[in-house]
Structure 1
Amino acid sequence: MEFPDIDLLAQRVLRQESVALTAAMVDAVNAFKEPSTDSPRQRDKEWVAGRAHEELLEGAFNIGAEAVATLLMSADDHRQAVAELLESDRMIPLPAMTCARAVHEAVVKICWLTEPGISSEERLARAAAHFLGMIQGGIPVLAQLPKGVLESQEHIKRVAQARQGGFELFEKIGVDVTANKNTGQALNVRYGSAVANVVPKITDLSAKYTPQMHFIWAMNSGAAHSNPWLINGMSGPWSTVVTSILAPLLDMSDALVDSLMGYVGLSTEELHRRTHQRRISLMRAIGNGGELVDHTTYRRRDT
């Protein structure tokens, strides 16, 4: 049976999830500064304490935290865009799927930076790699701009200088940077035995951090790239289309909460429970006849 208010439900689900995540992220920021005992964040602080260049090392971890904050903003912007697109009477799913893909990418990058189970050395390497990627990422684009546009050559020089400054800063704390000999672009960084690519492969991150919804990365990538196999193959009632876009976003929330809250040592149980309530609402809206299991059982599926 077609649910008459699927668009209203979609708006409510997205709004409630955004409010819950925003509050949780505020708690996470506070916990990053004052982490709980035995949390991975606390272990990072203890690892830094007393080492040479202690302040610079802690600064590198703070760089990672700032990157997470920026990615969270991006994810929320794209989540709001999904809500706006689904609210439209025109029923335009492809842009909504493209925005959902952007949320997916931001989430798995956050998971990569905050993964609770990795060593402090690995986290430091990942933070440094992400930072260098942020600095140098625009250089290839600037190089393609027509002469005179935004003084692109001057911009390239300034960015290259900033990149070199990053190399030198990281060298002081023992981070080795491997760069392309022709372009000067950083390729990966190494700290001890830990190595991190400056441009991690998002497909691999999706498979690692969102394994149950990894197929959605391919589906939404099809929308982003206007692939005919997706465009020509889309069918079904609008309620099913909406749910197929929204339900995976709730799995992204689960992955985000597990990684970020796990890193700073905060409980995830209530966040997961409420997210799953929203998931059940969506399933009921499209008349899902299957068994609506609790969140713990849902997370154990296919394992």
Structure 2
Amino acid sequence: MGERPIGELAAIIIEQERTALRSALKHAFSEADQPRPGSALLQDRTLIRAQAKGRRRNLEGLAAGLIQEVVEILASTDQFALALKEIYTAKDMLPLPASSMARSIHESVLAISRLYDPALTSETRLARMAGVQLRNVQGSLVALEAFPREYQQEKERVAGAIVGIRKYMEEAGYVIHDRKDDPFVATGISWGLVKETLRDNATATSLLYTPSIHYNWVLGSGAAHSKPWYIRGLSGPWETLVVGTLAPLLDISDLLIDIILGYVGLPVDSYHRSTHLRRCTLFHRTNPEIGFGSYEHYRQQASSLHDPAVKR
């Protein structure tokens, strides 16, 4: 019996990875009520519970809001993965949508990494927690500006929400930094001595968390914006492009496991070994002569190409 078509193999790998991630995330969320000793989650809870009652209540509300945002990001990521399955198994070869979907998944996991990286201090996480929620509310108003005048009532509602969340955050102990020419638009937020900008720099975040596959971010950007350099550079068999877009997403899956399970203090090795087996199966289709060995060996090889000592 011959080999499976590459699109079918890719779809199977995506489905296996989705199943594994659902199991891991379900396990992580079950740890929320009783944080493990030494975990970043427990450190965050300890800092929040040490605050005065009013501040503590608002900080707990913001923490709950952040979890809701992450759940929404994960749901979006799953949609992109399902779309990628359809692209890989489609009758036509669709390299631009494939790279675009890969970039979208990459970006979603980067957003989560920046918030729940277990290496962050609790103070930094609290600052980012509020910053991302304030930026999202402000972004809603910016988006509504593009709509016709009949949406004015909705604009007024969002403007009121911005006033409300700013007051809520200030009562939680945050200092909001406004744009000089528009005091209604925040550019940064501080918690204690930690100041965070509201500007989203996904490219820098990719270089920080995914230096060995940053090319996936660059290529996906070229595809999403139909850049001539990307279109003119397309060549080679469909198998190569499928492997080239899916393989980095297995590294992204490893990162998501490290971030979420690392935050709650759960072990990650079994998930990495399973993902690595799928990685080896995928690479065997285009590079059967390459042996990746264990996950640890693969990761060591990837890290050796970049400086791992990057400040977060």
SS in 2 for 1:177: strand
Per mean C-alpha deviation after superposition, the further-off stretch among 272-281 and 178-187 is: 178-187
Per mean C-alpha deviation after superposition, the further-off stretch among 134-143 and 273-282 is: 134-143
Q: Shift of the alpha carbon at 1:30? A: 1.1
What whole-Å deviation, never above 9, does each CA across 1:42-85 have from its counterpart, x for those lacking one? 11111122311222222222222222111111111111111111
Which residues of 2 match residues 1-303 of structure 1 at below 5 A? 4-52=4-52, 53-148=55-150, 152-180=151-179, 181-182=181-182, 184-301=184-301, 302-303=303-304
| Matched residue type, 2:57 | E
Unaligned stretches of 5+ residues in structure 2: 305-312
Per mean C-alpha deviation after superposition, the further-off stretch among 31-40 and 222-231 is: 31-40
Per mean C-alpha deviation after superposition, the further-off stretch among 178-187 and 37-46 is: 178-187
Q: Shift of the alpha carbon at 1:4? A: 5.0
SS in 1 for 2:184: coil
Q: What percentage of residue pairs aligned between the two structures are identical?
A: 35
Q: Shift of the alpha carbon at 1:187? A: 1.4
Alpha-carbon distance in structure 2 between the residues aligned to 1:123 and 1:50 = 16
Change (3 A) 1:300 1:189: same
Q: Is the 8 A contact 1:276 1:295 kept in 2?
A: yes
Q: Is the 8 A contact 2:28 2:264 kept in 1?
A: yes
Per mean C-alpha deviation after superposition, the further-off stretch among 132-141 and 200-209 is: 132-141
Post-superposition, which runs of at least 4 consecutive aligned residues in structure 1 deviate over 6 A?
Answer: none
Alpha-carbon distance in structure 2 between the residues aligned to 1:37 and 1:220 = 40
Alpha-carbon distance in structure 2 between the residues aligned to 1:103 and 1:33 = 29
Q: Shift of the alpha carbon at 1:183? A: 6.8
SS in 2 for 1:185: strand
Alpha-carbon distance in structure 2 between the residues aligned to 1:101 and 1:300 = 24
In the superposition, the TM-score normalised over structure 2's length comes to: 0.92
Report the count of equivalent residues: 299
Q: Shift of the alpha carbon at 1:173? A: 1.4
Alpha-carbon distance in structure 2 between the residues aligned to 1:136 and 1:196 = 16
RMSD: 1.5
| Matched residue type, 1:106 | S
SS in 2 for 1:232: helix
What whole-Å deviation, never above 9, does each CA across 1:182-240 have from its counterpart, x for those lacking one? 27222111101212222320001111111111111001100000000010110111111
Q: Is the 8 A contact 1:75 1:102 kept in 2?
A: yes
Alpha-carbon distance in structure 2 between the residues aligned to 1:121 and 1:113 = 12
What whole-Å deviation, never above 9, does each CA across 1:262-302 have from its counterpart, x for those lacking one? 00111110110000000000011123322222101111124
Alpha-carbon distance in structure 2 between the residues aligned to 1:131 and 1:6 = 40
Query: 2:308 corresponds to which residue?
Result: none
Alpha-carbon distance in structure 2 between the residues aligned to 1:73 and 1:14 = 15
Unaligned stretches of 5+ residues in structure 1: none
| Matched residue type, 1:153 | Q
What whole-Å deviation, never above 9, does each CA across 1:17-39 have from its counterpart, x for those lacking one? 00100111111111123221110
Q: Is the 8 A contact 1:86 1:93 kept in 2?
A: no
